Amino acid sequence: MAERITLNLKVNGEARTVNVHPFARLLDVLREELRLTGTKEGCGEGECGACTVLLDDQVVNSCLVPAVQAQGCAITTVEGLARGEDLSSLQAAFVAHNGAQCGFCTPGMLIAATDLLNRCPDPTDGEIREGLAGNLCRCTGYAKILDAVHTAATDGGAPR
Amino acid sequence: MRGYLPDCDIRVPADLADALALLAAEPGVWTPFAGGTDLMVVYNAGRLKATHFLDLSRLAELRGIREEATHLVFGALTTYTEIRDCRAVHQHFPNLVKSARATGALAIQNRGTLGGNIVNASPAADTPPSLLAYGAELELVSPRGLRRVAYDCFHLGYKRLDLAADELVASLRMPKPTGRSFHYFRKVGTRQAQAISKVCLAAHARIEAGVVAELRIGLGSVAPVPQRARHAEAAIIGKPLSALPIAAAQAALLDDISPIDDIRASAHFRLVVTQNVLGHMLRELANG
C-alpha cells in the first residue's frame, strides 16, 4: 500500500494542506478532505463535466486527476467564484436566466464558462458551445445557459 | 464499482532516466501514466487491471513541440490543447489540429496526451489516422538507447504494440509536407464533442503536375488497429486529378478494413460510411 503524501494546494486562493493517498481522485480530495462539495460526481468517466474544476487555470475533469498530479497546483472550484454573498457576474446571469434547474451540472457549467470568458471575453455562440461541449445538462435544454453566458460576457467579460 | 484505492500506488520519477530505470528494474509492474484520461476512466469503472503507475506528467524531457528544418517533433506529453494552440502545427499538419479538436472536449484536451493516445492503442482514437496520413515516426527510449519505428508498423494487433516492457514513447516526428499538398480529415460520431468515432478518416496527398504523386490514408474504428488504407491508396497514386478512379478506390478499400458490430455502429454502417467518406475525400482532392 502506498504511503500517504502531504499534498499542498492553493484552493480558491487559500493555501491548503492535506494528507491523502497519492492516487486518490482530486474530486474526492476536494469533496471529502476539504469538504468542498460544490464539485459533483456525475459519470465518473470524464464525459459529463459535473466535476469540472480549474487546475492551474485549465479546466479538468477532477474525477480523472490523481491527487499527486495536483501537487503544488492552484485549484478553483465553484465555491471560489462568489465573494461571500456577492455572486460573480456569471453566477448572477445564471440566476437571471434560470440557467439552472436541478442544479447538478451547474458547478461544472460555471467553471467551464468562467474558463471560457477568461480566455475569450467576447465569445461567439459557437465558441460558447465549444467551451461548454464537455458539460452535459439533462434539464435546461442549454438555451438558458447559453443566454446566461452571453449576458455575462456583455456585462463585463471575465467574471473574476 | 471503482478500483480499490489501497491496492494502488503511483510513483513520481525525478527524471526520464529514473523512470526508465524503474521500468527496467520491475518489468511489467509499472504502467506509464500521463494525462489519465484513459486509465482513470477504466479505474473508475473498476475494470483496470493495473494498480501501479508511473507518473510521467512532470518529465520535462517528454514535453513540447519542436520545429526542425524538415520535421516537427512532438514530445509524448504534448496535449491536444498544445496541438490546437501551436501555429506550426496549423501550418503544416492541419489534420492533426482537427484530430485534437475532435477528441473529447476541452477538459480532456487539456490533459490527454499524444503519447497516451498512441499507447492506449484504441482503434477508435482520433489522432492516429492523422499520424498515419502524415507518415509519423516514433522515438522509443529505454536504458538500452533510442529506437525509431514507423508509426504505421507500431500497432501489431488489437492493443498489441511494438513496444518493449522497458521502453517509453519519447516523441513523435513528422516530416513537414512540401510542394502542393492536400489535407482531409473527417470524423463520424454521434455528436461533435465527447463522441467516440464510428468512422474516422484522415488523408494527405502530394500533387505534382496534376497527378497524385503521394497519398496516405489513415483510418480509425474500422479495424483492430489504426489502419492505413494501402489498397485504396494504390488505386489512386499516379492517377491524374482529372480522372481519379473513385469507384475503384472504394472497392479496393474492402481489402483494407475489417469493421465490426459494436455499441456505437454496425459493421455494415461502418463499411458504407467509410466508402462514402473516401468518396467525399477523393472528390475534394479532384476539385483541388
CB atoms under 10 Å from CB of A157, counted, come to 15
Q: Are B147 and B167 in contact (CB under 8 A)?
A: yes
| Residue A1 predicted with pLDDT over 80 | no
Q: Which one of B9, B105, B108 has the shortest CB-CB distance to A23?
A: B9
Which residues from chain A sit within 8 angstroms of residue B41, using beta carbons? 45-46, 64
Of A2, A59, A65, the CB nearest to B8: A2
Q: pLDDT grade, residue A119 (50/70/90)?
A: very high
Q: Name the phi and psi angles at B188, rounded to 5.
A: -110, 110
Helix, strand, coil percentages in chain B from 3-state DSSP, rounded to 5? 35, 25, 35
Query: Given pLDDT bands bounded at 50, 70 and 90, which one contains residue B181?
Result: very high
Using one digit for the tens of pLDDT, what is the confidence trace for B27-80?
A: 999 999 999 999 999 999 999 999 999 999 999 999 999 999 999 999 999 999
Whole-prediction pTM: 0.96
Task: Judge whether B209 and B173 are in contact, CB under 8 Å.
Answer: no
Q: Is B146 part of the contact surface with chain A (CB cutoff 8 Å)? A: no
Place of cell 484530430: B99
Best mutation site among B9, B12, B44 for testing chain A: the one with the most A CBs within 10 Å?
Answer: B44
Distance to chain A for B1, nearest Cα, Å: 11
d(CA B283, CA A97): 46
> Quick check: A137 contacting B, CB < 8 Å?
no
Please determine, for residue A158, whether its predicted confidence score (pLDDT) is greater than 60. no
Query: What's the mean pLDDT in A124-150?
Result: 95
The pLDDT of A99-110, averaged and rounded, is 96
Sorting pLDDT into bands at 50, 70 and 90, what band is B288?
confident
| C-beta atoms surrounding A42 within 10 Å | 20
The reply to whether residue B105 touches residue A69, judged by beta carbons under 8 angstroms, is no
Q: Which of B40, B47, B56 to mutate to test the interface with A (most CBs of A within 10 A)?
A: B40
| A160: pLDDT strictly greater than 60 | no
Q: Is the ipTM of this complex over 0.90?
A: yes
CA–CA distance, B230 with B111 (Å, rounded to integer): 33
Angle at the Cα of B29 (from B165 to B4), degrees rounded to 5?
Answer: 140
Strand partners, A86: A83
- Could you give the strand order of the β-sheet that contains B137-142, starting from the edge strand earlier in sequence? B65-67, B71-75, B168-175, B137-142, B145-150
Question: What mean pLDDT is predicted for residues B109-133?
Answer: 98
Q: Which pLDDT tens digit goes with each residue over B211-258?
A: 999 999 999 999 999 999 999 999 999 999 999 999 999 999 999 999
User: What share of chain B has pLDDT > 90, as a percent?
Assistant: 98
pLDDT at residue number B1: 79
Average pLDDT, chain B: 97
- Is the model more confident about A141 or about A121? A121
A140 pLDDT band (50/70/90 cuts)? confident
**Quick check: B9 and A1 CB within 8 A?**
yes
Select from B8, B33, B108 the Cβ nearest to the Cβ of A46: B108
pLDDT at A156: 67
The Cα B50–Cα B9 span in angstroms is 10
Q: Does A120 touch chain B (CB under 8 A)?
A: no
Contact: A23, B194; criterion CB under 8 Å: no
Of all residues in chain A, the one with the smallest CA distance to B6 is A1
Helix (H, G, I), strand (E, B) or coil at A131: helix
CA distances to A56, A160, B228 from B104, in Å: 20, 27, 23
pLDDT tens digits for A47-102? Answer: 999 999 999 999 999 999 999 999 999 999 999 999 999 999 999 999 999 999 99
DSSP state of A68: G
**Whole-angstrom distance, CA of residue B46 vs CA of residue B3:** 4
% pLDDT > 70, chain B: 100
Strand order through the sheet with B52-55:
B9-11, B52-55, B31-33
**Quick one: pLDDT band at residue B148, thresholds 50, 70, 90?**
very high
Lowest-pLDDT range, A11-15, A154-158, B36-40, B174-178?
Answer: A154-158
The angle, 0 to 180 degrees and rounded to 10, between the axes of the packed helices A89-96 and A106-119 is 130
Phi-psi region of B238 (alpha: psi -120 to 50; beta: other; left: phi over 0): left
CA distance B285 to A81: 50
B30: which strand partners? none
Q: Over 80: is that where the pLDDT of A159 sits? A: no
**Mean per-residue pLDDT, A109-133:** 97
Average pLDDT over chain A, rounded to an integer = 95
